[in-house]
Amino acid sequence: MSTKKELPPYVCPYDGKLLAGVDEVGRGPLAGDVVAAAAILDPARPIEGLADSKKLTEKKREALFDLIRERALCYAVARATVAEIDRLNILHASLLAMRRAVEQLSVQPEFVLVDGNKKPDWHYPCDTVVKGDSRVQAIAAASILAKVTRDREMAELDKQYPGYGLAGHKGYPTKAHQQALEQLGPSPIHRQSFAPVKQLSMEFG
């Protein structure tokens, strides 16, 4: 029986204090913005339990969200809108959201670690880290900030656009979401460039 191979610990080429981690949430959903966050952690105020936001319970994410905002040296949350996703494509919109998050940090970093294998077009010295949200604390912190922010926003959007179940699936293409789309048609916050939405938009006119 095959088992997943664990990635080795990440060794950062930068050892200074002003190290930012950046991550995004929301590349896969059919609806809503893609949200990114950046964080510079304070070594003097460590945060226990940081991990990939997807592997944490909602209660744990919420608790860590508050701790990160309290103890981080600085943090910022940014986004690319549904219109930008449709215009640029989801990859470039995700990179744009990450760039905006880092640029909005009140203390500008000397080095940035980016989750994944692609980096935004910017001037910052940086490195990409595959599965960085599981290997780098600053990226894990960013992933938690981005996910909690986006999840809360989708719960609010559920009130504006009832019937789709956005508060539950957060816009991801679940069976229930697909069925709601087929019944109601796409809403203004659905991504028209994504195939299931595009097809239904044509059918609903």
CA dist., res. 98 & res. 76, Å (int): 10
23 is in an annotated binding site: yes
Instruction: Judge contact between 121 and 96, C-beta under 8 A.
Output: no
Q: Are 190 and 82 in contact (CB under 8 A)?
A: yes
How many Å apart are CA 184 and CA 187, to the nearest integer? 8
115 labelled ligand-binding? yes
Radius of gyration of the chain (CA): 18
- Residue 58 is assigned to a ligand binding site: no
- Residues 102, 20 contacting (CB under 8 angstroms): yes
Q: How far apart are CA 43 and CA 95, in angstroms?
A: 27
Pick out the residues of the known binding site: 23-24, 115
Pick out the residues of the known binding site for a divalent metal cation: 23-24, 115
